[in-house]
Structure 1
Amino acid sequence: MATPDSGRAALPTADAVHVLSERQRCDLELLLSGAFAPVTEFMDEPTWESVCAHQRLPDGRLWPMPLTLEVDEATAAHLGAGAVLRLERNDGTPLARMTVASLYRPDRLWEVQHIYGSSDRRHPGVAETLERLPVNIAGSVVPWEDGALERAAAVDFPPEYRAPAQVRTALAGAPALAFQTRNPLHNAHIAITRAALERLGSQARLLLHPAIGPTRPGDVEASWRMRAYRAVLDHYPRDRVLLSPLPLAMRMAGPREALWHALIRRNFGASHFLIGRGHADPGHWDGGLFYPPFAAQEWVAAHREELGIEPVFMPEYAYSRARQSYVPAAEANGERLEGISGSELRRRLAANEDIPSWFSPPEVIRILRQAYRGADRRGLVLWFTGLSASGKSTLAGMLARQLEIHDERAVTLLDGDVVRRFLSKGLGFGREDRDENIRRIGFVASLVARHGGIAIVAAISPYRDARAEARRLVEEAGGAFVEIHVATPLSVCAARDPKGLYARALAGEIASFTGVDDPYEAPEHPDIAIDTSHLPGQAALRLLLDKLTDLGILGQGGDHREPGP
C-alpha cells in the first residue's frame, strides 16, 4: 500500500542538532549564497587565528572577520570529525547540514583584542563575542534539502531580499555604488549618497544595501528600518536605486568591518563602495565615536589594490542654514553648521519633541515615532538582580505598584520565586537549570515588551551570560532593557535572612546556594546600582525613580515619584 511519503527521497540524518542564533542564521545564509566568498565554510582553528591576527586567510587572501559556528559542550560531546550536525531555525525547521572537520575552544579575549582593539564589555561586539558558546565547530555546510533556504528566506527576510547572483544580474551593465547602513536614512545620508552618485556619472546606480541582521542593542528594529528605507526611495531617481536588504549580523568593528563590508559588496556585483565618517562604529558609552572618525577610510585605503571594488570616501556633511542644504563640513567657510546626533535623536523621539525637517524627511520621522513609541509607550523590561534578601523583590513590587498608578502601560511583575513555582517547575539549581530558568523569564519578558508593556523582573539571576541573553531577547523584540543591580552586601543579606535560607545553607541543609557555596557574578556595568543597606523602602524607591527618569526610561511627561518627604 502506498503511504503519504511514497516516492519522496529519504531525508538526511544527523548525529546532533544545533539551533542557530540570529547571528549564526545570518552567517549561514551569506556563506551558502556566496556573499562571503572566498570563504565557503565555518572556519577551523588555523583559519580563525590567521584572520584574527593578520586579516588574511591562510593562503594570503584578504579577509578581516572570523566566521565561526559555536555550540555548547553537550552538543560538542556528540561530534567528531566526519559527524553530521543539523542546523535549525529556532522553530525547529532544518536549514543546513554541516559535516564536521574539527572542534576547538578559542581564546575569546585574544579574539576581541584583535578584532575590536578592546576587551571592554561595554563595546557591543566585545560583549557578544565573549558571551558566545564555548566550542567552535569547523566544517562545510550544504542546504538540508532542496528549497530549504528559499522557504526560510521568505519567512525570515523582507520581500526585497536578493541573493548575490540576483543582485549582480540587476546591476549588470552600469557602475554601481553600494551603500551600507544599519540606521534609517536622514537628509545627510541622502545628500552624501546623491553626491557620490554624481561623482560616478549619470549612468551610475545606487545599491541601497542595509544590514537587517543583529546590529547594536538599542537600534530601531529591522522591520521599521525597512519601512524608512522604502519611504526615502522617492528622493532618488527611480531607475537609479535598488533596495536590497542584506541579512548581515554586524560586529560593530569599525575599520575592520568597513573592509569586510567592501568585500561583501564586491560579491554582490557593486563596482564602488561608499565609506563615510564613523563607519560601523558602535559609539562610545561616554559619548562620541569609539574609533577615530575616519579610521575606516584609512584602513580601507591601505588595502585598496586588492579589494576588487573601488572605495568612495565621503567627508562629513552638516546642514547649512545659510544655504538651506547639506554641505561638506570642511567647506563651511565660517558659516554655522548644524546636526543632530543619534543619541539626541533618540532622546527627542522618546520625549516626543520636535525634529526639524532639515534633519530628516517627515515620512521617516513619522515611521520612527511609530517604531520608537517614546519612553512612555515603548516596551520596557526592568530587570532586578542581586543576592537573596538584597531587597530586590520588595523594591520591584513597590515600583510595580507605583507604575500602575502613573504609567498607562500594562505592568507585569515576574518574581523569581513565583516563576520557579509555575513557569520553571521541575528545574533544579545547577548552572544549566539556572540558566534555563533565566532564559524562560527573559522570553516571557520579551513578549511583554514586544507588545508595549512593562515587565518588572526580580530574580537572583547570578550569571552574567544568562542576563546578557535575557537582554538580547528583549532588545530584539524592540524593548528597552534596564539592568538594576540591588547591590546590598552579602553580610547584610545574610543578617536579614527573612526566609532562613542563609542559615540553612551554612548548616549544609541547602546545597549550591548563591553567595555561600555558589557564585554570584555581579554586573560589571549595570544601568542602575542601588544598595538598600541604609535606605528604607520609600527612599530606595525614590532614588530608583529618579535614576530611571534621568536615563530617559520613564520620560518626562509625568511625575512617577511617590509624594512624601
Structure 2
Amino acid sequence: MNYIGHGGKEIVERIMPREQAVEAIKGLTEVTIRGQIAREVIDIAYGFFTPLEGFMTRADVEGVCNEMKLANGVLWPIPIVFDISDEEIKEKNIKEGDKLLLKYQDKPMAILEVEEIFTYDKKEMAKKVYGTDEEKHPGVARTYNYKDKFIGGKVTLVNEPVMNPPFDQFFFTPKQLRQKFAEKGWQRIVAHQTRNVPHTGHEWLMKGAWLSAHGELPVEKTVTGILVNAIIGEKRKGDYIDEAIVLCHDVLRKAGYFREDVHMTSIALWDMRYAGPKEAVFHAILRTNLGLTHHMFGRDHAGVGTYYDPYDAHRIFDRIPEGALNIKPVRVLEWWYCPVCGEVTYSGLCGHKDKAQGFSGTLIRSIIQDGVKPPRLIFRPEVFDLIMECAEKYGFGSPFVTDRYLKERQDIFTLPDLK
C-alpha cells in the first residue's frame, strides 16, 4: 500500500536487501558516524523525515534557514545535515560523486551518496533557526559543534538496526504504525509529544486532546486514538531516563487510566534542538509521516529557558500557509490542581487561578527523589512504582540521567553483523 506523508509525498523507504548490501559496500570509503547522525540515518531511511531521502544540500539548508522551506518548496523548519571535517575529507580523498560507507558501533550501517560538499556559516544557521546565536542555547551549541563542511546526498540503510529492550516493543516505522492504526480502526489520532514520565497533568492533557480530536464523531465505536510518541535520543544530566519514560506512559494504559482501544505508546529517534515554535512545526511534520491527524501543543512546547514565549508554538501555526501541513494542531493551555474545585482542572475553565497549584517540574522531581509515594492526584501509584523499578533496573539507582547512565547504559539499538 502507498502511504502519503508530509508534502503530499509517498513515505520514503530506502532499505537495501541484505544480500545486495553485502556486495554493494565492498570497496567503499568508510566514515565512522556519531549517535546523532546514526539516528537521523534511521529516520531518513524509514521515512520519518519524508520527503527527505538524505542529508540536505546547500540549497535545502538555505531554503530552510531563510524561508522555512526545502529547495522544492515543501515546508521544513530545521536543517538535517551531515557534517565532516576538512581533515577527514582530505585524508580519505572524499569528493562529489563518491559513495561512502557509514559505520556505527564498528558495523556497516548505510551508504551515503556524495552529491555535494559545501560550507555554511554556522552562526547564521543558528541565528535563523533558533532566533539567537547565544551558545548557552543547546540547539545553538549543537550547531557550533558541527565540523568544517557538510555533505548533501541520499542515504540508503544497508544494515537494519535491532532495537534493544524495552524499546523493541515501542519502535514502529511510519508504515508499521499506519498498519497498526488501520487494525485498531482509528480514523483520528492525536499525538502526545513527550520527554518526561507522566504525572496526572500529562494524563489530563492527553484526555483533553482526545476530546478535542474526537469532536463530533459518534461515541458508539472508538475511532479516535492517542499516540504517545516519546522522543528518544541524546540525553543531558538530569533528564528522565528513556526506559522510565516509555514504560511509565505505557503503564497508564495497562493500569486502565486509558482504555486499551484509545491509547498507544511509541518512540521516535531524535536529538532535541529546543527550537521552540520551529521545533513544534518539525514535530507536526514528523507525526504527519507517522499517520497522525492531530497534534497536541501545550505551554513551552520544545522551548528552553526564556528564548521563546510560552505560547509561541501555538502562534506559529497561524503563519503556516494553508495546505502546507496535513495535521491539525490541538492547542492546549495548562491543567492544574484546584483546591477549591477539589480536582485537576483546566486553566481555560476554572475561575480560581489565584489558588491553583501547578505541576511544577521542581516539585515533581523532589517527590521522585524523596522516594515517598505521592498523592494519586499527582502521580498514579502504578506510575510511581514503575519509576522506582526503572531506576534500579536501568538507571543505576536513579530515574534521572547521571554520568554513569551516560557512560554505561545499554544502547537503544544494536547493529547486527553484515554477512
Alignment TM-score, normalising by the size of structure 2 = 0.81
Tell me what 1:99 maps to. Answer: 113
Tell me what 2:156 maps to. Answer: 142
Residue of 332, 337, 342 corresponding to 1:324: 342
Please give the alpha-carbon distance, in whole angstroms, between the structure 2 residues aligned to 1:124 and 1:102: 28
* Alpha carbons 1:56, 1:63 under 8 Å: kept: yes
Paired amino acid for 2:110? A
The alpha-carbon deviation at position 15 of structure 1 amounts to 4.1
The answer to whether structure 1 residue 39 and structure 2 residue 52 are counterparts is yes
The alpha-carbon deviation at position 132 of structure 1 amounts to 2.4
Tell me what 1:232 maps to. Answer: 252
Paired amino acid for 2:194? T
1:465-484 equivalent positions in 2, closer than 5 A: 473=406
* Alpha carbons 1:316, 1:329 under 8 Å: kept: yes
For 1:332, what is the secondary structure of its paired residue? coil
Please give the alpha-carbon distance, in whole angstroms, between the structure 2 residues aligned to 1:313 and 1:67: 27
The alpha-carbon deviation at position 66 of structure 1 amounts to 0.5
The alpha-carbon deviation at position 263 of structure 1 amounts to 0.9
Q: Deviations over 1:202-229 (max 9, x none)?
A: 4211111111122555311212212212
For 1:139, what is the secondary structure of its paired residue? strand
The answer to whether structure 1 residue 264 and structure 2 residue 286 are counterparts is yes
The alpha-carbon deviation at position 299 of structure 1 amounts to 0.6
Greater gyration radius? 1
Tell me what 1:193 maps to. Answer: 206
Percent sequence identity is 25
Residue of 119, 137, 157 corresponding to 1:123: 137
The alpha-carbon deviation at position 307 of structure 1 amounts to 0.6
* Alpha carbons 2:296, 2:329 under 8 Å: kept: yes
Work out which structure has the larger RCO, using CA pairs closer than 8 Å and 6 or more positions apart in sequence.
2
For structure 2, which runs of at least 5 residues remain unmatched after alignment?
1-18, 412-419
* Alpha carbons 2:139, 2:275 under 8 Å: kept: yes
* Alpha carbons 1:64, 1:256 under 8 Å: kept: yes
* Alpha carbons 2:232, 2:269 under 8 Å: kept: yes
For 1:245, what is the secondary structure of its paired residue? strand
Please give the alpha-carbon distance, in whole angstroms, between the structure 1 residues aligned to 2:390 and 2:133: 32
Please give the alpha-carbon distance, in whole angstroms, between the structure 2 residues aligned to 1:73 and 1:229: 44
Tell me what 1:309 maps to. Answer: 327
- Give the 3 Å change call, closer, same or farther, for CA 65–356 of structure 1 in structure 2: same
Please give the alpha-carbon distance, in whole angstroms, between the structure 2 residues aligned to 1:194 and 1:7: 47
Paired amino acid for 2:241? E
The alpha-carbon deviation at position 157 of structure 1 amounts to 4.3
1:12-23 equivalent positions in 2, closer than 5 A: 12-23=25-36
Please give the alpha-carbon distance, in whole angstroms, between the structure 2 residues aligned to 1:53 and 1:15: 35
Paired amino acid for 1:188? G
Please give the alpha-carbon distance, in whole angstroms, between the structure 2 residues aligned to 1:270 and 1:8: 33
The answer to whether structure 1 residue 166 and structure 2 residue 180 are counterparts is no
Please give the alpha-carbon distance, in whole angstroms, between the structure 2 residues aligned to 1:127 and 1:475: 24
Tell me what 1:248 maps to. Answer: 270
Please give the alpha-carbon distance, in whole angstroms, between the structure 2 residues aligned to 1:239 and 1:222: 25
For 1:359, what is the secondary structure of its paired residue? coil
Range that drifts further, 326-335 or 220-229: 326-335
Please give the alpha-carbon distance, in whole angstroms, between the structure 1 residues aligned to 2:154 and 2:20: 29
* Alpha carbons 1:304, 1:310 under 8 Å: kept: no
1:483-498 equivalent positions in 2, closer than 5 A: none
The alpha-carbon deviation at position 379 of structure 1 amounts to 11
The alpha-carbon deviation at position 139 of structure 1 amounts to 0.9
Residue of 65, 88, 105 corresponding to 2:78: 65
For structure 1, which runs of at least 5 residues remain unmatched after alignment?
1-5, 382-444, 451-472, 479-565
For 2:268, what is the secondary structure of its paired residue? coil
The alpha-carbon deviation at position 76 of structure 1 amounts to 1.8
How many residues get paired?
375
* Alpha carbons 1:182, 1:210 under 8 Å: kept: yes
The answer to whether structure 1 residue 210 and structure 2 residue 225 are counterparts is no
Alignment TM-score, normalising by the size of structure 1 = 0.61
Please give the alpha-carbon distance, in whole angstroms, between the structure 1 residues aligned to 2:362 and 2:396: 17
What's the RMSD between the two structures over aligned residues? 3.0
Please give the alpha-carbon distance, in whole angstroms, between the structure 2 residues aligned to 1:73 and 1:260: 30
